Structure 1
């Protein structure tokens, strides 16, 4: 028998064997898992066929199916990629299955570009298929295309509302597009089912914060303060919320816990120190505030307004009256303001008739003043600010003087006044007392 005939018979034999194993492989995809010997036979036969023809579609299909079943994702992705190039010329190939499996295998090896291409093709005519929508959705989340992600993941969620991965990515996408209420319901489920998913739990806290549910946000961030990855940011968020609520003891504890973590990102480290300094200032712990601000300036002198804060805090450290004016409890502040009122006009008799405060922003004191030359009702407004006081504050003061029938008004602050504020009082009986004049008043009390 000639060599040509022998080669031809071998090729026919391989083709017949491959057809058999391909049929076995197709049956395995329908639910049966091939035994180890079956797998070895499939792979051996497929490799023999590919040695004869590297583009043998049946052989590639057998190998791809085996690799996919065994979760050998790199080999599966590579083999299905070869098959995607053959579907246009081979009608026997299942184009949809090949694209789906190539896409899913590529997701597993983080080849998102090829995964996206194949899954997008597979979705045509199969828009309600769960695996396609879920995986395309999570790819869009990773790409930060959150609007697209929501559409895809919503379709997946409608199909399988119990799927934890869908709830996770959909909740995160909702948060990213500023829909915190929808995010909360999903991320809360994820947190309950997967307590180790700290990323989703942290995002749940952020969603609570964005939704205005500060108490729930504080609980979440407090829970995460000790976490190595999310602890510094969580401590910063918890402390900031406590600081805003004027719970200074809790805020100080939060910031200090955050600062105990090793390897804190520089921007988080600086903000923790900056807000801890603000907390110390609010508690009148000026030396501690100064220490934190000096440390920030050493690390990054250009951080926020730290240079101005340093100068201001150093001034506070040497000026007890200014401390009281700006950061002492309201009762002490009012006491200081009363002394300023009674000493403001030289050789006068002053009778304070009313004191009112607007939260911790300013105090109004109404007084009847009499001197040897004149008598009048005067409204004093003390603004607890070392920055520029704007026109709106002066307009409100002017309206208030009319209500109480005061003949004149004074606005006193530890900063200065905007151009609009200065222009507003030019034709009105309101005097502006800025930081320089306040310093003189404080020396007299």
Structure 2
């Protein structure tokens, strides 16, 4: 290669290395200076502001510089104190933007968990500037916390119009709308929040409630089942999941939900009481009266006046000790029907009884039609066995009287594990219907023994 060409190539190589060095290291030096520049500016600003305040403690520009720096540094105590001084100067200094310093004072108070001070200041700030996003979204949040959901929804919706992608605004807007029973709108906002922030379990819990209210129980059940292990939301989620399963008549799965809910620690008292109450209902329906009684007793220890627990305990004890009464009230339809057939055969001594029809009406009562023949008489008798321990009213007895006429029965018996209203008793006074209450039912059970 000729010497001149070689020299040129060497020169170009040296220049290339120089450029590469500048790109790799020189640019980093520039960036380092740029990174250090704001810190130097901040120091300069602080020094200048403090110097100005030493000369004039009411210098609003210096105070605003300090307050803004404290706010940016999240030094909330100092920020709140300094903005508070500026708020106090607003009455005598028109150069201060009152809405701005009042808002910043409120936001610092909010960070310091002083919601009442924040609320009062934001209310004032909004009278000065009603279209501020910061004012509307934070005041809306506080109104939601205070239970003023209509007002919260208005403010948060205005903030949402200004900043549609702001997730905290949509979060509390969705929750406020939920409290107002506007489930479709609430669900739309909360779904968007969860899509952006899947870790927001509280919003997910709200969404589960929304689906439940909208009749979308399968989607709600997926959410509540997912949240069951959560330490904070788990007990309530288990309660909702179990309630949905009860409606689906999945009693075994419902019992599991309630049991899992009760395994958590530090359960809110009302949630624990309701979990135990519903679990006791499931156990009772499954004829596990001992386990039901355990749950009811625990409720009674914590809150003796909770719902009808006292009467439920008495009822469970009685059912636990009387197998026939247990069968009559809570066993399967087939067992109940078989028991009723046995009871019919005890009504008349030395009689031939032929059952001609048995009709179950849902799980409420059974009508049994029988031909009864004795040495002195024979007739068609209609028996109505009511599965309940409450009061039987006149309408039920009137319906029985109509059935007597339809079946051409000469006499009727109405049997219940409860009592009868005065009007029901009065109705049968001139009719061939006998009303048998719980005490008489227990006598029949004794005859069966």
> When the two structures are superposed, what TM-score results if normalisation uses the length of structure 1?
0.83
Q: 1:12-411, aligned counterparts within 5 Å? A: 35-124=38-127, 126-401=129-404, 404=407, 406-411=409-414
**Change over 3 Å in CA distance of 1:96–1:305 after alignment to 2:** closer
Q: CA deviation at 1:349?
A: 4.2
What's 1:413 paired with?
A: 416
Q: Which stretch shows the higher mean deviation, 174-183 or 252-261?
A: 174-183
Q: Which runs of 4+ in 1 moved over 6 A?
A: none
Q: How many angstroms apart in 2 are the aligned matches of 1:259 and 1:313?
A: 21
> When the two structures are superposed, what TM-score results if normalisation uses the length of structure 2?
0.82
Q: How many angstroms apart in 2 are the aligned matches of 1:150 and 1:408?
A: 65
**Change over 3 Å in CA distance of 1:161–1:365 after alignment to 2:** farther
**Change over 3 Å in CA distance of 1:249–1:349 after alignment to 2:** same
**Change over 3 Å in CA distance of 1:111–1:283 after alignment to 2:** same
SS at match of 2:444: helix
Q: CA deviation at 1:40?
A: 1.2
Q: How many angstroms apart in 2 are the aligned matches of 1:348 and 1:281?
A: 37
Q: CA deviation at 1:249?
A: 0.7
Q: Which runs of 5+ in 1 are unaligned?
A: 1-32
Q: How many angstroms apart in 1 are the aligned matches of 2:37 and 2:130?
A: 31
Q: How many angstroms apart in 2 are the aligned matches of 1:232 and 1:127?
A: 41
- 2:49–2:66 contact (8 Å) kept in structure 1: yes
- 2:99–2:128 contact (8 Å) kept in structure 1: no
Q: CA deviation at 1:374?
A: 4.9
Q: CA deviation at 1:135?
A: 0.9
**Change over 3 Å in CA distance of 1:44–1:283 after alignment to 2:** same
- When the two chains are superposed, the root-mean-square deviation of aligned CA atoms in Å is 2.9
SS at match of 1:35: helix
Q: 1:18-45 CA distances to partner (integer Å, 9 max, x unpaired)?
A: xxxxxxxxxxxxxxx9711111111121
**Change over 3 Å in CA distance of 1:341–1:180 after alignment to 2:** farther
Q: 1:318-365 CA distances to partner (integer Å, 9 max, x unpaired)?
A: 222111111111121122222223433444444444433333222333
Q: CA deviation at 1:435?
A: 0.9
